[in-house]
């Protein structure tokens, strides 16, 4: 669905943002795209959408070169940016003007999403708060029925009910043919739905794994005393130490914030722990 190969990119004469970045997305996942400020998450989404052009390497999206921005690709892709402008027309008028660009647009899905968000379609978009406008754009994105939706900080400006509603809608509208990419710093808002987790740092993809493998090969917990061995990463917290260990999680989901911090400090060790689990699983399957 998305395959970036050896992508390098920089803004003008500034140092390179991406240096031979490899990044692959398959349908059927809600990808959590994580990285520090300035790591290039928004730029990566824009390269995938064909809004920025790599200096080197290739970006293939939905079977097309992203930079060509072919109508067939754009009709099957939607990006919800962090900051955006909507004209001073009603939601109904906006839909009438923009829905025809998406051949599979589903008006029933739109109505259901807007009802979930409690958005009045007769209200002028200009009269809505920024959070309401974001809810409207998210609803529109899901109604397009495109195979690839890119979300840049989708929970920014959403109220507490809105964050819960967003999680519900993402899960409800995911399918084996679609992929959602969620770039966010608000990890706890969306951790329950993000799978796989992708982390970029220093211009490269430094970690990517599905939550099943993460939860079955790693464990996070808070402990008053540090274990004698097996700790990949620790940070001080209320109640002692938050640790990431190479151990079965015993059904407890890994804390994604602790995982992220661990990858930032000990990426090779964290990757090795997950890879070791994956290899052992493959060995078991072969032995059967």
pLDDT on residue 12: 82
CATH 3.40.50.1860 assigned to 2-208: no
Which ranges in the chain are annotated with CATH 3.40.50.300? 2-208
The one-character DSSP state at 126 is G
Region 130-144 average pLDDT: 97
With contact defined as beta carbons under 8 Å apart, do 54 and 9 qualify?
Answer: yes
Rounded to an integer, what distance in angstroms lies between the CA atom of residue 264 and that of residue 207?
10
Give the residue from 179, 168, 236 showing the smallest Cα distance to 28: 179
pLDDT for 287 beyond 80: no
pLDDT on residue 282: 59
DSSP 225-238: S--SS-EEEEEEET
Region 35-47 average pLDDT: 95
Q: Is the pTM of this model over 0.95?
A: no
Question: What percentage of the chain exceeds 70 in pLDDT?
Answer: 96
Quote the mean pLDDT of the chain. 93
């Amino acid at each position: 669905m998305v395959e970036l190969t050896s992508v390098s990119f920089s803004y003008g004469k500034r140092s390179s943002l991406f240096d031979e970045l490899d990044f692959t997305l398959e349908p059927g996942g809600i990808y959590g795209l994580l990285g520090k400020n300035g790591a290039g998450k928004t730029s990566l989404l824009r390269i995938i959408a064909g809004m920025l052009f790599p200096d080197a390497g290739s970006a293939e999206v939905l079977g097309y070169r992203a930079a060509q921005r072919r109508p067939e690709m754009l009709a099957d892709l939607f990006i919800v940016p962090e900051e955006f402008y909507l004209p001073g027309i009603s939601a109904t008028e906006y839909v009438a003007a923009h829905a025809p660009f998406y051949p599979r647009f589903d008006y029933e899905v739109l109505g259901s999403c807007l009802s979930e968000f409690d958005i009045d379609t007769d209200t002028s978009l200009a009269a809505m708060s920024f959070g309401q406008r974001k809810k409207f754009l998210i609803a529109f994105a899901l109604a397009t029925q495109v195979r690839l939706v890119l979300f840049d900080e989708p929970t920014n400006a959403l109220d507490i009910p809105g964050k819960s509603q967003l999680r519900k809608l993402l899960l409800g509208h995911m399918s084996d043919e679609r992929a959602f990419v969620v770039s966010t710093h608000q990890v706890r808002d969306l951790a329950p739905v993000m799978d796989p987790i992708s982390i970029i740092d220093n211009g490269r993809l430094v970690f990517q794994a599905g939550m099943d493998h993460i939860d079955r090969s790693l464990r996070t917990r808070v402990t008053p005393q540090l274990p004698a061995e097996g700790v990949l990463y620790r940070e001080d917290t209320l109640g002692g130490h938050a640790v990431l260990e190479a151990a079965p999680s015993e059904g407890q989901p890994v804390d994604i914030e602790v995982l992220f911090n661990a990858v930032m400090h000990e990426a090779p060790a964290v990757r090795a722990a997950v890879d070791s689990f994956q290899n052992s699983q493959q060995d078991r399957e072969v032995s059967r």
